[in-house]
Chains A and B, each alone.
Chain A
Amino acid sequence: MAITASGLYVATMLDVFDATQLAYAYLADTMKIALFTDTITPNFGTDTAYGVAPYNANETSGGSWAAGGYTLATKTIAQDAIGYSVWDAADVSQATCTVTNAMAGLIYDDTLVGKNAVVLVDFVTAVSTTNGTLTITFTAPASGGIYNVKCTV
């Protein structure tokens, strides 16, 4: 039982391309990042959504950090200099929050009825706040953003 890696959720990606035609629209939709402790064990092949196991328990929130997470702002999708498509957003900064042992951030589409999971960001080391500011710095788009995809032939 642990978070050992970051990753994209295959089920969501497949639903975008297959007959489901999932209307995942990163820029237009409300994307949230919810925090989870190291108690969960993600499975990037089978996990589907926020609110569905294992993301229906072991979420950490408190103070101004609400359950369900923080809404990402200033979202971008762009191609970098070496051909990667890069998804990015403004850094997270939430004051007066109390979260305990946050080990990863689940980014999901809050606009979709299914709250489909998109990507899990593994913090590698757990962090806590006490009525303080939680900052999550994403790398600049040129360095990879939140997540990036490269298609090769």
Chain B
Amino acid sequence: MSTAPGYLPQGYKTSKKTHRVDGPPGVNNTETVHWDGHQDAHVRAKPVSVSMKVESIHNEGNE
């Protein structure tokens, strides 16, 4: 059997194969299929950002 880098004999099963789920640029969710058929998934969640604008502040202070 060849020992050259990248050589795999016919019928050889790699242990797993990961693919990026098709989507827009910047989204990098992946799924990994293992040789025995089970499948993992990895979600890279982006943070949810919210801004609140305060129109005015009335501070009565201590009286």
Contact = CB atoms under 8 A, between A and B. Distances in A.
Interface string B44-58: 111111111110010
A150 B43 contact: no
Contacts of B11: none
A144 B46 CA distance: 8
Nearest to A129: B41
B38 interface: yes
Interface in B17-48: 21-24, 27, 29, 31-32, 34, 37-48
Contacts of B53: 151-153
A126 interface: yes
A127 B45 CA distance: 12
Interface string A127-147: 111111111111100011111
A111 interface: no
A53 interface: no
A105 B21 CA distance: 17
B8 to A, nearest CB: 24
Q: Is the interface of A mostly helix, strand, loop or mixed?
A: strand
A147 B52 contact: no
A125 B51 contact: no
B39 A124 contact: no
Contact of B40 (A7, A134, A145): A134
A151 B37 CA distance: 48
A149 interface: yes
A34 to B, nearest CB: 14
Given A126-B21, A127-B31, A150 B41 contact: no
10 contacts: A6-B46, A84-B49, A124-B46, A130-B39, A131-B39, A132-B34, A136-B43, A146-B48, A151-B51, A153-B53
Given A121-B48, A131-B37, A132-B40, 8 more contacts: A123-B45, A125-B29, A127-B43, A129-B41, A132-B38, A148-B48, A148-B50, A149-B51
